[in-house]
Structure 1
Amino acid sequence: MPRGDDRAGADAATGGGSRPARVSESDRWFVALDVDGTVMHEDESIDPRVADAVASAVARGHLVTLATGRSWATTRPVLEHLELEPDYVVCANGAMTMRRDPTAPDGWVREHVETFDASPVLQQIREELPGGRFLLELEDGFRLYTEGMTDWNLERARQVEFDELLGQRAIRIVATSVDHELDEFFRVVEQMGLNHVSYAIGWTAWLDIAPDGVNKATALERVRGWMGLPLQRVIAVGDGRNDIEMFHWARAAGRAVAMGQAPAEVVGAAAERTGTIDEAGLAPVLDSLP
């Protein structure tokens, strides 16, 4: 049952009381959206203008999905809020791709998962950040975390001692420090010389680590191949350092759009810039599609 605000957004897109015209298959875009800072505010709210624009883009025939650093457990509620039902969703910065399957018990299956041995990088980071706090996400989405990770969603998670994180195969590690400002944290991470993993630094002193060579771009390219979609019809929108590879991928032939509040290096990786999350900057980007 469509939401009332979805209908309002569709009407606004066409200037009146008719549903938006659907584009031809050759004119539809593959739309990859970051979640936090792009679709969703820090307080987990979504601007009605953004929800309307997403609904209208889908109604016009565009293929809209999410590409996020979030776990699947915290990504699915965003899909439900938007009433979005894509064929594939990219989670954990590309380490997990979910596929919609109506025959599955909960409607989704893990289509592709990348794991790595968490022990070496955990021990390396612990040496440099003895006061660090850690969260490790397992292949099944369950998470283990150390004391102090109070700012993170901890559903399907259990607190453990650091040593219990060792010997695990993970799809993602998050390391945070309360002892460093962001600039200092950058310097510490650079000095670590992390090898054989992919990583991105967040808005504050936290580090997001994925298997080597794995990021949102690698997962989205795999999805694009599965769906047989042209690269010149992809558009990616985001605001974080973990979106940089995604922007390089999208702008190769399509569009890469940074949110207005994105850091300079993220804006530099994109080809376009829109308004901030507080200005519902995603909405005009989606409305610009045919």
Structure 2
Amino acid sequence: MLARVTDGERHLIALDLDGTVLNHGALGAGDDPAGGLIDPDLAHAIRALHESGHEVVVATGRSVDATLPIVELLGIRPQWVVACNGAVTLKRDALAPRAYRREVVEAFDPSDALVKIRTQLMTARFAVELADGGFLYTESIPTGTLPSTQRKVPFEELLGVQASRVVVVSPDHRLEEFLSAVESLGLTHVSYAVGQTSWLDIAPDGVTKASALEVVAEKLGIAPSRVFAAGDGRNDIDMLRWAARHGDAVAMGQAVPEVQAVASRVTGTVDEVGLLTALRERFPELAR
């Protein structure tokens, strides 16, 4: 057990899940995007840091429904959880379902973005995650990281709603083609790939993991120099860039070059349990 840290020593430790904490390519993980394996030593280190007083904050693109089971699996009870790429911030509340309430929900009307994307990606599958946690989709989408309550609707019913994010999946396009098409649209929101699937997430304007974490850090009174963040995807770029300004931003070894470029350092791949290596380097007490 680690010694209890003082307020002046407390860090905000922001952790992406898929590809950072969760290893989907590990033996036994299967193809379920909700699954993936957590290295036992990594899970122990995360719990030890949490129990010593550091503020561990899961920061993920997953929906709330798909995030909280992983938080529970880690065996931690953090005060804050960031889901939906920063559009939903949860605060611990013993009286709320699963002990978390939606403290901040950012929402927008996705109509313009959906119509614009459809002109470029006619065969894509579209979905919106609603501000209240519901999920509307046009065609089946891998659901492991998405809400459990879902409803299939015509494309037109996705327009004019209040959404916390838009999901676009285009299995008919190679990843390079998909990213090129997305870039040509001039969208300024977050885009990233999951495995070999062409997948786009769109958040409300200006909303990222970084914007949500900055608010959490201010509420907790944690200085930027005591921020540690780790991630592997394009949706982690803003978070890593934010953390790297004054703190410690770690890109996973399998991250694409543009993700690694914004981090302050690069660790091993998820297969090499690179996050554990990075945590031990930042918090040497873990290795004792």
Scaled by the length of structure 1, the TM-score of the pair is 0.89
SS of 1:201's equivalent? coil
Q: Distance in 2 between matches of 1:154 and 1:103?
A: 21
Query: Could you tell me which amino acid in structure 1 is paired with residue 191 of structure 2?
Result: A
SS of 1:69's equivalent? coil
**Does the CA-based 8 Å contact 1:126-1:132 persist in structure 2?**
yes
1:112 to 100, 104, 128: 104
The corresponding residue for 1:33 is 15
Structure 1 residues 172-215: Cα deviation after superposition (integer angstroms, max 9, x where no partner): 01101122111111111111122xx6222224311110001110
| Residues 140-155 of structure 1 mapped to structure 2, 5 A cutoff | 140-150=132-142, 152=144, 153=146, 155=148
Q: Distance in 2 between matches of 1:142 and 1:213?
A: 22
| Residues 72-87 of structure 1 mapped to structure 2, 5 A cutoff | 72-87=64-79
The corresponding residue for 2:206 is 213
1:275 to 265, 268, 274: 268
Q: Distance in 2 between matches of 1:199 and 1:28?
A: 30
Q: Distance in 2 between matches of 1:26 and 1:239?
A: 29
Shift of 1:23: 2.3
Q: Distance in 1 between matches of 2:50 and 2:90?
A: 19
Shift of 1:105: 4.3
The corresponding residue for 1:5 is none
Structure whose CA Rg is larger: 1
Structure 1 residues 55-105: Cα deviation after superposition (integer angstroms, max 9, x where no partner): 121233211110000010000001000011111111100001000011334
Scaled by the length of structure 2, the TM-score of the pair is 0.90
SS of 2:191's equivalent? strand
**Does the CA-based 8 Å contact 2:66-2:147 persist in structure 1?**
no
Segments of 5+ residues of structure 2 without an aligned counterpart are 30-34
The corresponding residue for 1:199 is 190
Equivalent pairs, count: 270
SS of 1:199's equivalent? coil
Shift of 1:151: 5.5
Change in Cα spacing, 1:154 to 1:94, as seen in structure 2 (3 Å) is closer
**Does the CA-based 8 Å contact 1:202-1:208 persist in structure 2?**
no
Q: Distance in 2 between matches of 1:282 and 1:261?
A: 12
Shift of 1:117: 0.3
The corresponding residue for 1:6 is none
Identity across aligned pairs (percent)? 48
Q: Distance in 2 between matches of 1:151 and 1:22?
A: 39
1:160 to 136, 142, 153: 153
Segments of 5+ residues of structure 1 without an aligned counterpart are 1-18
The corresponding residue for 1:59 is 51
SS of 1:54's equivalent? helix
Q: Distance in 2 between matches of 1:253 and 1:55?
A: 25
The corresponding residue for 2:215 is 222
Change in Cα spacing, 1:150 to 1:227, as seen in structure 2 (3 Å) is closer
Moved over 3 A (4+): 150-154
Shift of 1:150: 3.9
Q: Say whether residues 1:171 and 2:164 are aligned partners.
A: yes
The corresponding residue for 1:128 is 120
